[in-house]
Amino acid sequence: MYGQTVIDNGTIATICRQCDMRCGIDAVVESGRIAKITGMKAHPQNRGRLCPKGPAAIDTVYHPERLLKPLKKNRSGSFDEISLDQAMEEITDRLGAVVENYGKRSIATWHGEALGFAQQEMYPRRFLRALGSPNFLSVNSLCYVSRYIAYRLVQGYWNACPDFRNARCILLWGTNPPVSHFTFMQSIDEAKRRGAKLVIIDPRITEISRRADLHLRPMPGTDGALAWGLMRQLIETDHYDKEFISQYSVGFDEAATYARRFTAEVVAGITGLPPDQIEECGRLVGAGLPQTINYVGVSLEHQENGVNAVRAIACLGGLTGALDREGGDPWPEPLEERSLTLYEELPLLDHEPIGAADYPVLYDFYKECNTMKAVEAMLGEGPYPLRALIVAGGNPVNTNPNVAKVAEAFAGLDLLVVRELFLTETAALADYVLPAASFIERSELHIYAHYQWVSLSRRVLQIPGVIDEYSFWRDLAHRLGFGAKYFPWQTEEEVNRWLLEPTGIAPEQLEQHPEGREYKPVRFEKYRKQPLANLSGKFEFSSKYLKELGYPALPIYEEPHYVRNRSEGFPYLLISGARKRVYLHSRYRNIPRFRRLHPQAEIELHPADAATLGVREGDQVRVSSEIGSIVLPAKILGEEEILPGLVQITHGWEGQGNVNRLTFDGITDPISGFPLLTSVPVRLERAETEGGSI
């Protein structure tokens, strides 16, 4: 047993930040140890409920394999324990050497999903600006930012959780919320009880599709064509919000003309859907006006026509009049907190960010350097070399596409530092592995923009020598000589106070109300009084900004890679990354009761395909793409569960079971640079040896 809880006995209400749902939790402490975690009833996000991973935070925090001491790689390639002070001193010296040899811009940081997309992400961003490098890398290169860019272009905001509760028609595109976002389900179920129609668009049968009024099963990567088909139908049947379109939009006529070609028959030809199902979907949307919701999951971002597919879906939302409406797609107002990024103070205009020349929109909208391009720069194939990298909260050697290349790049760096809870595949390549505080050992602000709510999480536990992210960046900044100026706060609690100052909310208020509070009442139809936060201030069916950068102005439909470059050698299509309830990417496979539920990676396939291959349940199957090959056991699904020709492998498995040995880093969305993680053409063969060695 290690660590000291901040009280010996009692309950501390805080926030679970194992995933971006950020549920309220009550941590029950007994004799200085966290004994139980339950759902906080007063928190509006989850109202007392939790997913199985919530209580399992205890298994992670007190896991026997948890890293508690800094590790340094020795000459023989294994690790020695050293003190934190020695580790920090040596890291500082080695960063200094990289600066001397290559310049400051050759230092990069990489931020993972485990630390979230908010406050923790701002520390490395601030650190890099203060240092003088533009090279911030993160999961934002393959998660959520394509949706953000698409919605920002069209309407100036992306609401990560529309108003499901008051909707009359809900369309979910490539997402499975009972597994991935369970907090959506209470509202979706409530809307359904009141008669709302639920339409699921997913090639596979999933937990949510079983509850749908209509389940459309398009071929992957064809959603854009379906969105255009629905727009055509709404326009032709006069089911759209004319007042909104005429007063608050640009490019409608151009879009309406383009939409005409997407008749139900044409869309059916592209998507494989029956034409009457497409028309039925259009009728359900038309009947729900304007309380309609289109929510897009991550899978559309993992197609190389993702941004335009999402833009087309956003256009469909505007057409229905759902913009900033109750029961539609409200426009969240931000909490006016301070910003940590230093982007205004230190614009750093004279440094070329890696990847920005190839994907200017990604950098312009999100100050994100494309990680695939960064990996190339580490391998010496960029505009200048990246030589030092600090990774925190991520495991890219498992989760990025083409992991063999990522591993090669990381292994060749002058310096790799990884802040981790466990010795992951990424940490194993590091020169220094630093034990990191988990979410339960830090305190940060959580903003739930969709209902304009803020909560403050609290430290429940402290482990000697295991420091939080803020303390790490602060210490490094001080050692490098710019700490006093840019990291003046002693603790994260002081940062929280500084961030909140302009809002008039004191941390104490949030501590007294651990469920948090509304920071501004939600208002609708604000676009009537203020311009939308995009270039024109109006709803943009067509984008001048993109046109000036040389992209088509309309979110035109482009055939997916596998249709354009049909390859005889790779006749199956791989969908990757369908989530499992008990795992988060590469996390939690070290929790035995979770591991028993899903002991190993599997390839899920249709019984007809299994028969063609001569594969029975559990037989080893070799799956090969253009870039790699893995062997894993077959899980044969029911007739209906997946379309013939499609297979699914969940990501996050180590070694041989890792689907990212097959996924592409070279085929990307031209606007966002997101990689192709789904619709990957593959070949399947029954592997010779049972037990599966290659």
Ligand X SMILES: Nc1nc2c(c(=O)[nH]1)N[C@H]1C(S)=C(S)[C@@H](COP(=O)(O)OP(=O)(O)OC[C@H]3O[C@@H](n4cnc5c(=O)[nH]c(N)nc54)[C@H](O)[C@@H]3O)O[C@H]1N2
CB burial string 29-38: b at 16+ within 10 A, e below:
beeebbeebb
The one-letter code for the residue type at 682 is: V
Whole-number Å distance between alpha carbons of 448 and 520: 11
Pick 395 or 542: Cβ nearer ligand X: 395
Contact status: 122 vs ligand SF4 (CB under 6 A): no
Residue among 210, 221, 269 nearest 278 (CA): 269
Considering the complex, what minimum distance in angstroms separates the CB of residue 206 from ligand X?
Answer: 5
The site for ligand SF4, by CB under 6 A, has a size of 11
Pick 18 or 370: Cβ nearer ligand SF4: 18
* Interface stretch with Mo ion, choices 138-146, 381-389, 432-440, 623-631 (CB under 5 A): 138-146
Contact status: 230 vs ligand X (CB under 6 A): no
Binds ligand X (CB under 6 A): choice among 66, 311, 585, 606: 585
* Interface stretch with Mo ion, choices 100-108, 143-151, 190-198, 253-261 (CB under 5 A): 143-151
User: Tokens 């499975």 identify what position?
Assistant: 176
Pick 663 or 668: Cβ nearer ligand X: 663
Nearest residue (beta carbon) to ligand SF4: 54
Contact 570, 625 (CB under 8 A): yes
Contact 631, 568 (CB under 8 A): no
Q: Which of residues 1-40 bind ligand X (CB under 6 A)?
A: 19
Binds ligand X (CB under 6 A): choice among 139, 191, 433, 621: 139
Nearest residue (beta carbon) to ligand X: 577
Contact status: 489 vs ligand X (CB under 6 A): no
User: Tokens 């049947």 identify what position?
Assistant: 237
Contact status: 51 vs ligand SF4 (CB under 6 A): yes
Contact status: 13 vs ligand SF4 (CB under 6 A): no
Q: Measure CA 633 to chain center.
A: 28
Q: Select from ligand X, ligand SF4, Mo ion, none the partner in contact with residue 602, using the beta carbon and a kind-dependent cut-off of 5 to 8 Å.
A: none
Pick 54 or 297: Cβ nearer ligand SF4: 54
Q: Select from ligand X, Mo ion, ligand SF4, none the partner in contact with residue 50, using the beta carbon and a kind-dependent cut-off of 5 to 8 Å.
A: ligand SF4
Whole-number Å distance between alpha carbons of 390 and 470: 14
Q: Select from Mo ion, ligand X, ligand SF4, none the partner in contact with residue 204, using the beta carbon and a kind-dependent cut-off of 5 to 8 Å.
A: ligand X
The three-point CA angle 285-288-291 to 5° equals: 110
* Interface stretch with ligand X, choices 146-154, 174-182, 474-482, 607-615 (CB under 6 A): 174-182
Residue 171 carries which DSSP code? E
Report strand pairing: 292-296 vs 79-81.
unpaired
Contact status: 19 vs ligand SF4 (CB under 6 A): yes
**Taking the CA atoms of the chain, what radius of gyration do you get in angstroms?**
25
Contact 482, 131 (CB under 8 A): yes
Contact status: 115 vs ligand X (CB under 6 A): yes
Contact status: 461 vs ligand SF4 (CB under 6 A): no
Contact status: 16 vs ligand SF4 (CB under 6 A): yes
* Interface stretch with Mo ion, choices 140-148, 301-309, 545-553, 673-681 (CB under 5 A): 140-148
Q: Select from Mo ion, ligand X, ligand SF4, none the partner in contact with residue 299, using the beta carbon and a kind-dependent cut-off of 5 to 8 Å.
A: ligand X
Residue 309 carries which DSSP code? H
The three-point CA angle 564-313-356 to 5° equals: 65
Tokens of 648: 């699914």
Q: Select from ligand SF4, Mo ion, ligand X, none the partner in contact with residue 632, using the beta carbon and a kind-dependent cut-off of 5 to 8 Å.
A: none
Which string of x and - marks every residue 134-173 that binds ligand SF4 (by CB under 6 A)? ----------------------------------------
Q: Select from ligand SF4, ligand X, Mo ion, none the partner in contact with residue 54, using the beta carbon and a kind-dependent cut-off of 5 to 8 Å.
A: ligand SF4
Whole-number Å distance between alpha carbons of 146 and 671: 8
Binds Mo ion (CB under 5 A): choice among 143, 255, 510, 603: 143
Q: Measure CA 307 to chain center.
A: 15
User: Tokens 């009049």 identify what position?
Assistant: 321
Binds ligand SF4 (CB under 6 A): choice among 22, 192, 442, 589: 22
Whole-number Å distance between alpha carbons of 672 and 661: 22
The one-letter code for the residue type at 145 is: V
Q: Select from ligand X, Mo ion, ligand SF4, none the partner in contact with residue 495, using the beta carbon and a kind-dependent cut-off of 5 to 8 Å.
A: none
Bridge partner residues of 379 (DSSP):
none
Residue 551 carries which DSSP code? S
Residue among 460, 448, 450, 568 nearest 516 (CA): 448
Considering the complex, what minimum distance in angstroms separates the CB of residue 298 from Mo ion?
Answer: 5
Residue among 687, 598, 685, 607 nearest 646 (CA): 607
Binds ligand X (CB under 6 A): choice among 14, 46, 135, 206: 206
In sequence order, the 6+-apart residues with CB closer than 8 A to the CB of 593 are none
Q: Select from Mo ion, ligand SF4, ligand X, none the partner in contact with residue 203, using the beta carbon and a kind-dependent cut-off of 5 to 8 Å.
A: ligand X
The site for ligand X, by CB under 6 A, has a size of 62
Residue among 393, 455, 423 nearest 110 (CA): 393
The pair phi, psi for residue 44, each rounded to 5°, is -65, -20
Q: Select from ligand SF4, ligand X, Mo ion, none the partner in contact with residue 223, using the beta carbon and a kind-dependent cut-off of 5 to 8 Å.
A: ligand X
Residue 5 carries which DSSP code? E
Considering the complex, what minimum distance in angstroms separates the CB of residue 577 from ligand SF4?
Answer: 17
Pick 51 or 499: Cβ nearer ligand X: 51
Pick 29 or 143: Cβ nearer Mo ion: 143
Contact status: 115 vs Mo ion (CB under 5 A): no
In sequence order, the 6+-apart residues with CB closer than 8 A to the CB of 172 are 198, 199, 200, 201, 202, 208, 295, 297
Pick 143 or 170: Cβ nearer Mo ion: 143
Contact status: 202 vs ligand X (CB under 6 A): yes
Pick 314 or 505: Cβ nearer ligand X: 314
Contact status: 197 vs ligand X (CB under 6 A): no
Residue among 32, 33, 30, 37 nearest 13 (CA): 37
The one-letter code for the residue type at 167 is: A
Q: Residue 634, exposed/middle/buried by CB under 10 A (0-12, 13-18, 19+)?
A: buried
Whole-number Å distance between alpha carbons of 360 and 551: 12
The pair phi, psi for residue 83, each rounded to 5°, is -80, 160
By CB under 6 A, name the binding residues for ligand X: 19, 112-115, 139, 142-143, 173-176, 179-181, 201-204, 206, 220-221, 223, 297-300, 302-303, 392-396, 398-399, 419-422, 424, 436, 438-439, 575-579, 581, 583-587, 651-652, 659-660, 663, 677-678
By CB under 6 A, name the binding residues for ligand SF4: 16, 18-19, 21-23, 50-51, 53-54, 182
By CB under 5 A, name the binding residues for Mo ion: 143
